[in-house]
Structures are given as structure tokens and as C-alpha cells.
Amino acid sequence: MIDGRTELYGIMGNPVAHSLSPAMHNAAFAAMGLNKVYVPFPVTDVATAVAGFRALGVRGVSVTIPHKQTVMPHLDAIDPVAERIGAVNTLVIREGKISGYNTDWLGANLALATELALADRTVLVLGAGGSARAIGFGLIEAGARVILASRTPASGQALAAALGCPWYPLAEAGGLVADVLVNATSVGMGAQRDATPMAAETLGRFSVVMDIVYAPRETRLLREAAVAGCRTVDGLAMLLYQGVAQSELWTGMAPPVELMRAQLLAGLGEK
């Protein structure tokens, strides 16, 4: 029950009403017996929102599109990995001080780790946006070798330079060899639901294929990868594990992972 001692958490973004995070985190808080509640914060003015979090005693916030970079100048401290990534997705607020972290890379690493050890593996990452950036830095943190391929040369080459890895045009990705393929683009969702970033006949060379798209949960890329004999990791796994890492930062406790997974599945209309 919400009372005078309930601690407030939430997610800031624009739009944010569609987020599956409130159901996931509220179920975890309840299962752990914690007097906490997690709500969506639709935010357009980042500076005012952060000041409001301080003033109202909000204890933690997830940060989503389009605020993962613009929130950074308003924080008191930033985790070194998040600093290198150049984006935060988690705020921890203690005694009015706000610290920023990035758990997106942890989510991707933990999701992939369910299928293979990342150290000394070669991973081909498709895309050069914020997700590709977080995933790329996380893979390097885990000891993997990264190859980057993207559609736009300018952003792709800039990210490759930051990661210290080779870059190739997306059109050439089908000829590259790696242990793992990660789709960090939006191909496969929304209007591109029936599209795939890689031709089916090129997928057999990868041991594991991961798609960060989680709606639909099984994208065309993952369906064709499974047919090619690859082990597959869907985008829901990354969403789950980045949320698990957030919960641990906020509570210092290990959250109920399977319950959180069930809440995400329910939010997607699955069991």
C-alpha cells in the first residue's frame, strides 16, 4: 500500500506511456517486500525534470529516448563506463545527489552470456546509434572484439573510431565473419516489421544471433537465424537484464528475474 514512507521511482522519456518498465519494476518491488512505486514521467524539459526529482525526493529514474544524453550535464556524478558510452539510462538519487549509470550494455552482455562467453569472441554489431554505442562499449568491456557495420558512413566511422574497431558499410556485412551477430538497428519493428538487416543465406556463419528489437519478439532476422542453425537471443532478454541491473542499483538486492520476465511477456500479450 502506498503511504507516507513510499519511495518514488520512475521512467523519464517522450513518449513514455507505452513503456513496459513500470509493470516489471513494480512487480519486483512488491515481491521483494519493498515500499516503493515506479511510475512513468513524460518529460520534455530535462533540466526542470531533474530539479523536480531532487525537490520531490525521487529515489531512482530510468532514462529512455530522447533523454539519455541530454540528461548528463544535469547530474552530479557519472559512472566511468557510462561516461565512455556517452549516455545514461539509470539515475540513482541519494541525499539530493544524482548519479548516472548505463545498464543497457549490461543488459546486452547478460543476454548474450546466456548463450556463450564473450571474452575473445568476435561480434558483428549492426547500427551506429545509441544502442549500438552502448552495446559496442559493453562488448569491449567484456573482452570481445567488435566489428561495426552501418548504413551511414559518418556516424558509423565516428563510432568505430570511438570503439577502436573496424567499420564496414552495411551492404558489405553479409561477407564479414564473426562468432556473434547483433542487430542494433530498428529494422524488424514497426513499419519495417517484415524486413531484415541481413540476408538469410549469410546467417549460418554465426553461432549466435541477437536482435535488440522486442516487438515483435521473434523478428524475421531471428526466425531465419534459427532456420540457419544459429542460437538466438531476442530483444526482450536485453530489456529484462538492463532492468535487473537497474533494480540492483536501486535496492542493493537481487530482484526476481523470472517474475520480471513474466511481466514483460504479459505486457507484450504473451505467456
Tell me, what CATH number does 69's domain have?
Answer: 3.40.50.10860
Does a structural domain hold residue 2?
A: no
Domain that holds residue 13: 7-102+237-267
Catalytic residue IDs: 68
Radius of gyration of the chain (CA): 19
Cell 511477456: give the residue. 265
Do residues 135 and 222 both lie within one domain? Answer: yes
Tell me: do 209 and 111 sit in the same domain.
Answer: yes
Q: Are residues 91 and 149 in the same domain?
A: no
The domain total for the chain is 2
pLDDT of residue 271: 56
pLDDT at 270: 80
Is residue 66 a part of any domain in this protein? yes
- In this prediction, residue 130 has a pLDDT band, given cuts at 50, 70 and 90, of confident
197 in any annotated domain = yes
Q: Which residue reads 541491473 in cell numbers?
A: 245
CATH of the domain at 198: 3.40.50.720
Judge if 244 and 138 occupy the same domain. no
92 domain residue, yes or no: yes
User: pLDDT band at 145, cuts 50/70/90?
Assistant: very high
In percent, the amount of the chain with pLDDT more than 90 equals 96
Q: Phi and psi at residue 58, in whole multiples of 5°?
A: -60, 140
* pLDDT at residue 148 greater than cutoff 70: yes
What percent of the chain shows pLDDT beyond 70?
100
Taking residues 170-175, what's their average pLDDT? Answer: 95
- 111 has a pLDDT exceeding 90: yes
Domain-embedded: residue 23: yes
